[in-house]
Amino acid sequence: ALYVRQRPGEHEGRSTQEWFRFQTATDFWAWVESHTFAKCKTWIFAHNWNFDGSILRTGATLTGSDWQLTTYINDKPPVIIRWRKDGRTIQLIDSLNYFLGSLEYIGESIGISKLEMPHTDATPEDWDTYCKRDVEVLYQAIIGFRKAVKDLDLGNFQMTLASQAFTAYRHRFMDQQILIHDKFAVCKMEREGYYGGRTESFYLGTINASVYSLDFNSMYPAVMQKEDYPVKLFRVFKNVTLGNLVQLLETYCVVAEVLIDTDQPIYPKRINKRLCFPVGSWWGVLTTPELQYALRMGHIKETRLVSVYTKANLFRDYVTELYALRMDYRRDKNPVFEYVVKILLNSLYGKFGQNGQKWEDTEHTVEDSGGIIIEENPDTGQLSKYRVRLGKTQEFSRDGESENSFPGLAAHVTAYGRMMLWDAIQQAGEKNVYYTDTDSLIVNETGRRNLEALTDADRLGALKVEHSANNVTIWGAKDYRFGDTEKHKGIKKSANKLSNDTWEQDQFTSWDAQLAGGTEGFIPIRRITKTLHRTYRKGRRTDSGWVMPLRENV
């Protein structure tokens, strides 16, 4: 382990370093505690705390040493866990909050190669060298990111990339005040109109021909740079005429509940908890770009609630500067930091879309099963969700919106992205697109040629050809084989394939379950079998393999 103390103020840039070799969890935590100070936070980084936390017997050791748990966020990632004792704070932060991928991949990117794991009969010195290199890779990655945050003036260092993006934007790029309203009915409509990316199979089966996978270069940042977004709720109307809706869209951003009647699968609708794009008629919530398109096509018949916002280009400078930085990292062959900047670009809008759902401490007592406990109130019938972590009982709260949430703004970003994808589908041509996933398309040779005008390897918002193959099989959303590469949601790359739809893979016992069972100190692994049932529910497969969209009727 490596302890680093960075000196602020006039001594900034200087640091104290101390290496420590340990063989027991008790020794490690005693060493950590000796480096904690009153009114100071000691940050402890590990690459996958859910593994190291168990091996180091974190829960048992710290609670046994009178440390009090104050924060427990373990979403694998992010992981943010805080402990306090006598005015001192220990803060466990997963480096996966910033860097996805293996330490080997991170090391290659920053020029420090991870060493090969020694044989089981290797000397202690060999193992020391191996483990020390892992720590060096992690240290250089974290310290490099902290330095980048400071040098680029991205605000105070944060515990996740999404928080860093939001902090950077507010600190240096937000030159237009964004006003958060508290109108419940409008918030509810905005939230309903906040849909994700379009993941859809237009064809199911095998294609034995030239097939291409194309991706947009930073699709969401591209529309953030180009378009105007809601700044302030201006007015709320009911039952406006279509003519008035057209006029409002000339000046303002709009979120509206409208009666859709379409013969094209363009507009989003949640059907059985799946995001679908049906044809037919239904009441749904659309935002500015989809409303403009639907009005031009004659696909809107009526309106109900209509919220109108003043607008501005909010993100141009943020996206322009960070995308240029991302290209610099690409030219320097530093994929890890290129990825970091990519996430800074892609995660900003999502902070405006965060809801108020969170785990909160409660005095209510439940049995510590390691999992989620559902209880029904006998008087009201209302269901409540609880969990116990490190002796602390928490209740899942669904109260309203988070402090800075503006779902109408976030909904505009994803809507512009979906319309950008729809334009590409249209340009590729009917029966030339087999599959889409948020910002990518799988097309045939004709589709690729039709999209050539939109293709550029580096330009923001352009398409680039990622892969090509002569044999592709599509079973459904996030379930396909592209040449020699297979992608199946829920199936690990290391899984052993038993049949066309069945795999065997390792399942690691979660740290949460170990905390509940008091079994920290090792990682139980069991072998499980997973079978994909492959029933496509976003459309109807025809005998030709092409998928017909679902049909809705009011």
273-309 pLDDT, tens digit per residue, is 999 999 999 999 999 999 999 999 999 999 999 999 9
Residue 380 sits in the same domain as residue 521: no
Asked if pLDDT for residue 516 goes beyond 80, the answer is: no
CA distance 304 to 257: 5
List residues bridging with 447 in a β-sheet: none
Which ranges of 264-406 would DSSP assign to H, the alpha helix? Answer: 288-297, 316-331, 335-352
Asked if residue 132 and residue 22 are part of one domain, the reply reads yes
Query: Per the domain annotation, does 461 fall within a domain?
Result: no
pLDDT in tens, 276-285: 999 999 999 9
Q: Is the pLDDT of residue 10 over 60?
A: no
Give the distance from CA 205 to its chain's centroid.
Answer: 29
Boundary-marking domain end, from 156, 176, 211: 156
User: Which residues have CB under 8 Å from 49's CB, separation 6+?
Assistant: 74, 79, 81, 92, 93, 94, 96, 511
Beta-strand runs (E) in 62-171: 68-74, 79-85, 88-94
Percent of the chain with pLDDT over 90: 81
- Cβ–Cβ contacts within 10 Å for residue 279, how many? 19
Give 401's DSSP letter.
B
Residue 552 pLDDT > 80: yes
Of residues 462 and 120, more confidence is placed in 462
Q: What is the pLDDT of residue 33?
A: 97
**Sign of the dihedral defined by the CA atoms of residues 220, 226, 227, 230, in that order:** positive
Q: Residue 520: which domain range?
A: 477-552
pLDDT category at 474 given cuts 50, 70, 90 is: very high
Q: Where are the alpha helices (DSSP H) in 375-510?
A: 407-428, 445-450
Residue 170 covered by a domain = no
Q: Which of 107, 125, 156 is the last residue of a domain?
A: 156
pLDDT tens column, 111-152: 899 999 999 899 999 999 999 999 999 999 999 999 999 999
Does 163 reside within a domain?
Answer: no
pLDDT for the residue 401: 76
Pairing of strands 525-531, 472-476: unpaired
Residues 363 and 481 in one domain: no
Number of folded domains that form the chain = 3
Close Cβ partners of 508 (under 8 Å, ≥ 6 residues apart): 51, 523, 524, 525
Q: What is the pLDDT of residue 383?
A: 84
Tokens describing residue 411: 């909904």
Q: Confidence band (pLDDT; 50, 70, 90) for 403? A: confident
Give the mean model confidence (pLDDT) for residues 377-383: 78
Inform me whether the pLDDT recorded for 191 exceeds 80.
yes
Same domain membership, residue 108 and residue 14: yes
| pLDDT at res. 132 | 96
How far is residue 531 from each of residues 472, 489, 498, 534, measured CA to CA in Å? 21, 11, 10, 9
User: Is residue 545 included in any domain, yes or no?
Assistant: yes
Residues 6+ apart with CB under 8 A from 350: 162, 410
The last residue of a domain, from among 134, 156, 178: 156
Q: Are both 42 and 131 inside the same structural domain?
A: yes
pLDDT score of 51: 93
Assigned domain for 428 exists: no
> Which pLDDT band, with edges at 50, 70 and 90, does 76 fall under?
confident
Separation of alpha carbons 189 and 180, rounded Å: 15
Instruction: Give the pLDDT of residue 152.
Output: 93
Same domain, 6 and 150: yes
Q: Looking at residues 58-74, what average pLDDT do you find?
A: 94
Contact 104, 96 (CB under 8 A): no
Q: Are residues 133 and 26 in the same domain?
A: yes
Backbone angles phi, psi at 57, to 5 degrees: 50, 50
Alpha-carbon distance of 503 to 480, in angstroms, equals 15
DSSP state of 546: B
When pLDDT is averaged across residues 67-73 and rounded to a whole number, the result is 93
* Residues found in the chain: 554
173 SS3 class: helix
Give the domain CATH number at 6.
3.30.420
Rounded Cα distance, 433 and 421, in Å: 11
Average pLDDT of the residues in 359-368: 81
Higher pLDDT, 93 or 378: 93
pLDDT digits (tens, 9 = 90+) for 31-57: 999 999 999 999 999 999 999 999 999
| pLDDT category of residue 266 using cuts at 50, 70 and 90 | very high
Question: Is 414 domain-assigned?
Answer: no
Indicate the pLDDT class of residue 162, thresholds 50, 70 and 90: very high
Would you state the pLDDT for residue 12?
58
Lowest mean pLDDT among 161-165, 313-317, 398-402, 482-486: 398-402
* pLDDT band (50, 70, 90) for residue 9: low
Instruction: For residue 154, give the 3-state DSSP assignment.
Output: coil
Helix 407-428 with 335-352: angle, nearest 10 deg: 120
Q: Are residues 111 and 7 part of one domain?
A: yes
Same domain, 132 and 16: yes
Q: What is the mean pLDDT of the chain?
A: 94
**536, 201 Cβ separation under 8 angstroms:** yes
Domain identity same for 381 and 510: no
Q: Residue 167: what pLDDT? A: 97
Task: Specify whether the CB–CB gap between 256 and 230 falls below 8 A.
Answer: no
Residue 532 lies in a domain: yes
Distance CA 370, CA 292 (A): 49
Give the model's pLDDT for residue 13.
Answer: 60
Is residue 251 one of the residues assigned to a domain? no
